[in-house]
Amino acid sequence: MTKSNLAIESRQLARSFKTKAGPVDAVKGVDFDVSDGEIVGLLGPNGAGKTTTLRMLTTLLTPSRGTALVAGADLITHSREVRRRIGYVAQIGAVPAPGTRLGEELITQARLQGMNKAAATDRLKALLPTLDLSGFEGRTLAEMSGGQRRRFDVALGLMHDPKLVFLDEPTTGLDPQSRANLWEHIRSLRDNHGVTIVLTTHYLDEADALADRLLVMDDGQIVADDTPEALKARVSGDVITVSVDGDLALAAKVAGEALAPRTNVVDGNKLVLTVERGDTAVPPLLRALDSAGLRLKSVQVHRPTLDDVFLTLTGRSLREDADG
Amino acid sequence: MTIVTETWVIFIRQMRQLVRNPVWVFFGLTQPILYLALFGPLLKNISGGGLGGSDSYKIFVPGLLLQLAIFGAGFAGFGIIQELREGVVDRQRVTPASRLALIMGRTMSNVVTIGVQAILLTLVAIPFGLRPNWGGAFVSIAVICVLSLGMAAASYTMGLILRDEDSFAPFVQGVTLPLLLLSGVLLPMTLAPTWLRRVSQVNPLSYVVDTVRALFRGDIASVTVAKGSLVTVGVAILLAWWATRRFQRNSA
């Protein structure tokens, strides 16, 4: 990989805060790269340092140490150029003041990004339909639903058509439908517009569904950097749960011969197998059970979740910290 | 895009929200009138310190103008605390727009508001019996606006530093109230005992109040006015300089 197609190069980026109890190292020197066109998720519990990292990369917070190239510009020496090139979607904020209207806010944002009035108006017309916000120009923000307001927040970050977009907790507080809908929009940004995306989340399903690659953060450090699939594979294989019409002990013996699974346990009226890859293990398992005359009642393949990953990496469950 | 355009974009956004808030428009504009109607009549029966009769309004109205500027600009920072919560401040800070424009656009909206309120207050005082030197009154409002510029900028920066209404409100109250009382806004300091008058002499606002009163009387080319104008401009520059520097540092 050559340097030219890196959207972000973070080198020893660190930030500490002064508190009454002494200095707190929120981010302890993180190194990572993001390639053009990637969707990278910063995953971790509250307080892991993911928002602090994002705020440093978006110039909102000056790093205590370290440096980064963001969209080709030096974060420390050319922060204004970084601002010109990136889009930023903040964490969900308080309900906007009554007088704020969607179209005006977006145009104000575009104007501050340096666009003239005509260009901003054209961009508004082109952007709103792609976020299902057509006809909302005159709507006041206070009378929009949570999902609509969140799409407006995304639009704010996209008015100047940046090639690198940061999203901080994009779907926190949204209902499941709005979340799935926003995921679609985020994916389409990359798939249809080639936008590189960095997002923070403490939702496992979101990280899993959206990110090509995950940076798992804990206590100000990156504890893992890999694809969701590889991270899960690292922890354990797949779990296959089988129930049959017949002798379970025989089924266990048959399965053991057919698959050589890592574990092979009869658990109540079910047979639980752990294998490297569940998807390729199921067909030979079914054939073996069939030829042994055991009629299959059900089979389930369960992939290890990112919660399992986080637990293995940090010794703590992510769910305890997530406020959900 | 120039800093002027950026300031204008922020200014227009702030003004739009203000004008669309009917509660603000009503109370913002009626408040000065309330002072005149409910407090002004008391002045007629006071004598001493230049008060008494219809001339009292040349002393009283300048005081009200100063109070308008101090409270109006002093509490300007309230708005930015809400904007912090809405995410407005952050999303403006991630643009390449000049940091100076972000604070000055807001500040200018307060200056214009206070200017309009000041004009209104002066005009409404006429039926009550105010007969100022009109040139002087005009310059006075300019002085009020310059002072508001510095104060509002400082207030925005304090809002960003304190980040919470519950500490911001007592802070502003605690700073502005003694400043106001020690400047002879409500009643002229000539009525004060010697010790209080001495204390008031180290308060820069005293010079501003004296200046505005002199201007209303028509003593335009006086030492008082020269001194007061210098103090006003000096204080405004100092506050605006500190505010923008802190704002820039706070917003990297």
Gap from B111 CA to chain A (nearest CA, Å): 20
In terms of Cβ atoms closer than 10 Å to its own Cβ (0-12, 13-18, 19+), residue B205 is buried
Cβ within 8 Å of residue B37, ≥6 positions away: none
Q: Please name the residue of chain A whose CA is at the shortest distance from the CA of residue B4.
A: A112
Q: Which residue of A has its CA nearest to B94?
A: A83
> For residue B101, what pLDDT is reported?
94
Residues of B in contact with A155 (CB under 8 A): none
pLDDT at A99 (0 to 100):
83
What number of other Cβ atoms are within 10 A of residue A46's Cβ?
11
Mutation for A interface: B9, B20, B85, B91, most A CBs within 10 A: B91
CB contact under 8 A, B16 and A99: yes
CA B181/CA B64 separation, integer angstroms: 12
Q: Among B95, B164, B248, which would you mutate to test the A interface (most chain A Cβ atoms within 10 Å of its Cβ)? A: B95
Residue A229's pLDDT is 87
Is the pLDDT score of A322 beyond 50? no
Query: φ and ψ at B109, to 5 degrees?
Result: -65, -35
User: By the CB < 8 Å criterion, does A172 face chain B?
Assistant: no
A181-228 pLDDT, tens digit each:
999 999 999 999 999 999 999 888 899 889 999 999 999 999 999 999
What pLDDT, on a 0 to 100 scale, did the predictor assign at position A4? 52
Q: With 50 as the cut, is the pLDDT of residue A173 above it?
A: yes
Hey, what's the torsion of the CAs at A62, A64, A70, A74, to 10 degrees?
A: 90
Q: Measure Cα distances from B241 to B143, B150, B151 in Å.
A: 18, 8, 11
**Subunit contact B91:A104, Cβ cutoff 8 A:** no
Kindly state whether B23 is in contact with chain A, defined as any CB-CB distance less than 8 angstroms: no
A99 touches chain B (CB under 8 A): yes
Residue ranges and CATH numbers for the domains of chain A are: 3-232 (3.40.50.300), 237-303 (3.30.70.980)
The answer to whether B9 faces chain A, any CB pair under 8 Å, is yes
Confidence check: pLDDT of A321 > 80: no
Could you read off the pLDDT of A74-133 as tens digits, one per residue?
Answer: 999 999 999 999 999 999 888 888 889 999 999 999 999 999 999 999 999 999 999 999
